[in-house]
Amino acid sequence: MNILAIETSCDETSAAVVKDGCKILSNIIATQVEFHKKYGGIVPEIASRKHIEVINPIIEQALDKAKVKFKDLDAVAVTYGPGLVGSLLVGLCAAKAIAYSLDIPLVGVNHLEAHIYANFLETRHSSLVTRNRKFPFVCLLVSGGHTMLVLVKDHGEDEVLGRTRDDAAGEAFDKVARFLELGYPGGPIIDKLAKEGDPNAIKFTRPMLDQGYDFSFSGIKTAVVNLVTRNPQLETRNIAASFQQAVVDVLVAKTIRAAKEYNCKTIALAGGVSANSALRKEMETQAKNNKLKVLIPPLSLCTDNAAMVGCAGYYHLKDKKASDLNLTAVASLRLG
């Protein structure tokens, strides 16, 4: 089964062809980051305009790379939320037009669920096992807009154990980087800079470490601002490393605790912040110490991409959950 998948929820225009829910035949991603950089964040109007400009060529490239023609497609999967409404609508209109003209099923996918499904895609290291993922598992979903711990009981059965009460983890990285005048997006920049710094140089508090599964990151961000304002001589690389360590410690501790409490043998990472090298390393170490298996998608599947949407769409279709052509964008779509 060949699924054409489309993702336009934020500032990446992406189209992919996914075979049988796990084989990535193509996964084309056009990032708009250059256009938003000078504003220090995403400008929604620019995002939707750029999606419109590139959506058709990106879909054509995805088909070409996969060596698949429109007539070879069996379904179209598309992200319909959460995200920027003007951006979502671009992908949604394209998907509906293709599904309607080819008379094939359309399937709407929740972007957050798609991030989790990045763990079900075949990669060089995970062929064969992907289709037999063992449920239940705990997934730490950390992106620019969301931070949550999800108990994934089966396909389509997600229970959100906790979420952030204020900033998402990625948002905290981006805001701290902006304050330190490091550039945008802040996550990868802080990640790189932190490699040269001392993570123990500054002891930032670990917010809500022992309390439930909710998170709070705006306090660490404010702590960085206050500290640097009072101590301008502090080295930026040490601030970056110490801030990152504080965020990583909280994310890892809560994920491991949840896996134990809910008797899960496996934990998974998902979302843009799971590209963070310190988070990946610490999660692997702690998982090993606690005899847990850890799934981490390759970097290219952590940030926004359409292949993960195609994978999630495949399982919806298997469950006979196609959408109709009235499907509309839901900016604040929730998971679970």
Instruction: Count the helices and strands in the chain (H runs, E runs).
Output: 11, 10
Please say whether the beta carbons of 306 and 14 come within 8 A: yes
Please identify which residue in 81, 86, 188, 313 interacts with ligand KG4, judged by CB under 6 A.
188
Residue placing its CB nearer to Zn ion in the complex, 152 or 180: 152
Beta partners for 270?
A: 141
From residue 21 to residue 60, what is the string marking binding to ligand KG4 with x (rule CB under 6 A)?
A: ----------------------------------------
Residue 218, number of CB atoms within 10 A of its CB: 15
Please identify which residue in 248, 304, 307, 323 interacts with ligand KG4, judged by CB under 6 A.
304
| Residues 6+ positions from 162 with CB-CB distance below 8 Å | 148, 149, 212, 213, 214, 215, 254, 258
Please identify which residue in 303, 307, 309, 316 interacts with ligand KG4, judged by CB under 6 A.
303
* Contact set for Zn ion, span 142-181 (CB under 5 A): 143
What is the C-alpha to C-alpha distance for residues 53 and 56, in angstroms, rounded to an integer?
8
From residue 244 to residue 283, what is the string marking binding to ligand KG4 with x (rule CB under 6 A)?
A: ---------------------------xxx-xx-------
From residue 124 to residue 143, what is the string marking binding to Zn ion with x (rule CB under 5 A)?
A: -------------------x
Q: What is the DSSP letter of 323?
A: B
What is the C-alpha to C-alpha distance for residues 97 and 91, in angstroms, rounded to an integer?
10
Query: Is residue 82 involved in binding ligand KG4 (CB under 6 A)?
Result: no
Please identify which residue in 2, 48, 143, 164 interacts with ligand KG4, judged by CB under 6 A.
143
What is the C-alpha to C-alpha distance for residues 312 and 79, in angstroms, rounded to an integer?
10
Please say whether the beta carbons of 75 and 104 come within 8 A: yes
* Contact set for Zn ion, span 268-327 (CB under 5 A): 304
Please identify which residue in 91, 144, 297, 313 interacts with ligand KG4, judged by CB under 6 A.
144
Query: Is residue 242 involved in binding ligand KG4 (CB under 6 A)?
Result: no
What is the C-alpha to C-alpha distance for residues 222 and 306, in angstroms, rounded to an integer?
35
Applying CB under 5 A, the residues found at the interface with Zn ion are: 143, 304
Applying CB under 6 A, the residues found at the interface with ligand KG4 are: 10, 143-145, 170, 173-174, 185-188, 191, 271-273, 275-276, 303-304
